Chains A and B, each alone.
Chain A
Amino acid sequence: EVQLVESGGNLVKPGGSLRLSCAVSGFTFSNAYLSWVRQAPGKGLEWVGRIKSESDGGAADYAAPVKGRFIISRDYSKDTLYLQMNSLKTEDTAIYYCTTENTMMGLSSDYWGQGTLVTVSS
């Protein structure tokens, strides 16, 4: 059974930093494309970024609002995805979901974690 479990969400002041984790199980971690999607309170879904599989080079792409502030990485020894968030702004307040992108299904997000809440406020 595929499972994604996010953690690390918290209350942080503007300008601060936070690192989210997503522990994955039930599939071959190194073969997976993984992404972060966020949802501000009462708003729609917003893609944050993704990291490619190891065999496809493992590079990361980012949405414009977070580029230069957020870094996506993965630890192959721990089967864990990370989102390092720096220079946080109030508009980064959201539930953050990690997802798998299925290469056989057009890179659609076929599995999602339960989400972790990040609140940026003074």
Chain B
Amino acid sequence: SYVLTQPPSVSVAPGKTATITCGGNNIGSKSVHWYQQKPGQAPVLVIYYNSDRPSGIPERFSGSTSGNTATLTITKVEAGDEADYYCQVWGSSSLNWVFGGGTKLTV
């Protein structure tokens, strides 16, 4: 089955840029979605189709993919961005959605 690997934690100072990676075999050929989850809340979609933002998501959030890595970038990080972030792809050979293990962003 397809496996997505994320770093357990990332720390960043307010106002700086946070980079969260998601590794997977040839993930650059897949569509990657990213979710933000704050404590006690349901997840929120922040990036779909690798780099598109749903309405209401700030431009500070962006995504990209290349080779075996997908990346979520958050510029000018704010305290309110502190959350767990999950990547997701469709494991086409196994007909199932796959989530990465999640990355806790600490600001």
Binding site for B on A (CB under 8 A): 35, 37, 44-47, 50, 61-64, 97, 102, 105-110, 112-115
Contact = CB atoms under 8 A, between A and B. Distances in A.
The 7 closest A-B pairs by CB, nearest first: A47-B97, A108-B48, A112-B42, A108-B33, A44-B102, A45-B99, A105-B48
Contacts, number: 61
Contact of A109 (B43, B84, B98, B102): B43
Nearest to B34: A108
Nearest to B49: A106
Given A105-B54, A108-B45, A108-B88, A61 B96 contact: yes
21 contacts: A44-B100, A45-B99, A45-B102, A46-B99, A47-B96, A47-B97, A47-B98, A62-B96, A64-B1, A105-B49, A105-B52, A105-B54, A107-B90, A108-B33, A108-B45, A108-B48, A108-B88, A109-B35, A112-B43, A113-B42, A114-B42
Contacts of B84: 44
Interface of B: 1, 31, 33, 35, 37, 42-45, 48-49, 52, 54, 84, 86, 88, 90, 94-102
B99 A44 contact: yes
Identify the interface centre among B42, B43, B98: most chain A CB within 10 Å of its CB.
Answer: B42
A101 B84 CA distance: 21
Contacts of A46: 99
Nearest to B54: A110
Nearest to B47: A108
**Residue from B33, B48, B84, B97 whose CB has the most chain A CB atoms within 10 Å:** B97
Given A45-B102, A63-B96, A64-B94, 13 more contacts: A35-B97, A44-B86, A44-B101, A45-B37, A45-B99, A47-B88, A50-B97, A97-B42, A105-B48, A105-B52, A105-B54, A108-B48, A109-B43
